[in-house]
């Protein structure tokens, strides 16, 4: 697995904690199954591009940031 893929789980975790949300609360806000979200945050599954865009829009960051390609 390349380095940028390893960054996604830590970015999702950090952003969620900054937002003060539990995994279940975030999943509900994004209308996704909480177990599915858990797999993304744990790095056990890779989200499809539309889900990456959903995360990016929700947190007002870029997909590149989520993937670890940029630091902003």
- Residue 7 pLDDT: 94
Multiple choice CATH, 3-64, 3.30.70.141, 1.10.10.10, 2.40.30.70, 1.10.260.40: 1.10.260.40
Structure tokens at 55: 């995360």
Structure tokens at 41: 């945050």
- Residue 3 pLDDT: 46
- Residue 72 pLDDT: 76
* Rounded to 5°, angle at Cα 2 from 38 and 9: 20
User: Using CA atoms, how far apart are residues 43 and 10, in angstroms rounded to an integer?
Assistant: 9
Q: 56, 46 in Cβ contact below 8 A? A: no
- Residue 6 pLDDT: 74
Q: Is the pTM for the entire model greater than 0.85?
A: yes
Chunked mean pLDDT (size 10), the chain, 72 residues: 69 98 98 98 96 98 95 82
Chain centroid to CA 63: 9
């Amino acid at each position: 697995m390349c380095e940028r893929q390893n960054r996604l789980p830590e970015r999702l975790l950090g952003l969620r904690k900054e937002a003060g949300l539990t995994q279940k609360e975030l999943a509900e806000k994004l209308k996704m199954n909480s177990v599915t979200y858990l797999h993304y945050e744990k790095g056990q599954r890779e989200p499809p591009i539309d889900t990456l865009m959903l995360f990016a829009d929700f947190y007002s960051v870029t997909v590149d940031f989520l993937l670890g390609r940029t630091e902003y």
